[in-house]
């Protein structure tokens, strides 16, 4: 009788699987990004922009679900990064290109590529500096926020019946600005220090309610204005710091 053959697969690796719940949200975010591309190719730009915002919500959920259920894994982190590249890098670039930028010829696809490569570099830098970065701030505009600026711009103008060919240069400027902001060294507040368990002033609660009311009234415009303000906040913080350093007298040696 022959002895049983040894498996070539390490039994410890065989026991390790893929956590379903957080990766299900990641897959849903990836699908939303893919859906945005398909809808843009079909000329349904409002659906495409909405899908990118849905991907943002799902991307924010998967990490929190993984931490709450203690199902973090290297596989999940890599999968999430690849999903972000599609949903917040490729999808917004292609939506902007199909909507307006293709009318510019080479300059059009160059502008779209600047956004796409900016998202790739931003994600790579984020992954490599994850353990040493200041948790209070992001270095460079986060790719979901950059995608929201581009998608929000397309959504607002489409909602008002303005065609991409009528604002082609403005669309190019918004796309390139978002792409460059992702690879900049400007700091953006991460909102990670906000503790939902702590009490807040009554005025803050009223402002939150007002924000939700405005969001339900004009979702495209409110979302676009919010993310544009956030994208500009990094430049404002840098400018204020530059002015402060200019006013501070140099200490004599």
**pLDDT tens digits for the chain (253 residues)?**
444 444 444 444 344 556 777 889 999 999 999 999 999 999 999 999 999 999 999 998 887 888 888 777 888 888 999 999 999 999 999 999 999 999 898 999 999 999 999 999 999 998 887 765 667 788 889 999 999 999 999 999 999 999 989 999 999 999 999 999 999 999 998 876 665 566 666 676 677 777 777 777 888 898 999 999 999 999 998 888 888 887 776 555 5
Domain ranges, ordered by start, for the chain = 18-190+200-247
3-state secondary structure of 18: coil
CATH superfamily of 18-190+200-247: CDP-alcohol phosphotransferase transmembrane (TM) domain (1.20.120.1760)
Q: Which residues touch 9 (CB under 8 Å, ≥6 apart)?
A: none
Q: Rounded to an integer, what distance in angstroms lies between the CA atom of residue 187 and that of residue 235? A: 8
Q: Rounded to an integer, what distance in angstroms lies between the CA atom of residue 57 and that of residue 144? A: 10
End-to-end CA distance of the chain: 87
Which helix (H) or strand (E) segment holds residue 189: the answer is: strand 187-189
Whole-prediction pTM: 0.84
Q: What is the pLDDT of residue 137?
A: 82
Residues, the chain: 253
């Amino acid at each position: 009788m022959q002895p049983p053959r040894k498996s070539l697969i390490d039994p410890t690796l065989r026991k390790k699987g893929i956590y379903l719940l957080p990766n299900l949200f990641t897959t849903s975010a990836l699908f939303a990004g893919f859906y945005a591309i398909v809808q843009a190719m079909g000329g349904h730009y409002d659906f495409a922009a909405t899908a990118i915002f849905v991907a943002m919500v799902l991307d924010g959920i998967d990490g929190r679900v993984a931490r709450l259920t203690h199902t973090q894994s290297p596989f999940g982190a890599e999968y999430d990064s690849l999903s972000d590249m599609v949903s917040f890098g490729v999808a917004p670039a292609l939506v902007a290109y199909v909507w307006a930028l293709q009318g510019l010829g080479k300059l059009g696809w160059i502008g779209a590529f600047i956004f796409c490569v900016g998202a790739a570099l931003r994600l790579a830098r984020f992954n490599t500096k994850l353990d040493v970065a200041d948790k209070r701030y992001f270095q460079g505009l986060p790719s979901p926020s950059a995608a929201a600026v581009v998608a929000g711009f397309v959504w607002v103008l489409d909602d008002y019946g303005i065609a991409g060919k009528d604002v082609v240069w403005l669309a190019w400027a918004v796309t390139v600005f978002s792409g460059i902001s992702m690879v900049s060294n400007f700091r953006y507040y991460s909102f990670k220090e906000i503790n939902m368990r702590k009490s807040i002033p009554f005025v803050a609660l009223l402002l939150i309610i007002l924000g939700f009311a405005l969001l339900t009234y004009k979702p495209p415009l409110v979302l676009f204005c919010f993310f544009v303000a956030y994208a500009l906040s990094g430049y404002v913080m840098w400018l204020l710091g530059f002015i402060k350093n200019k006013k501070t007298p140099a200490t004599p040696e």
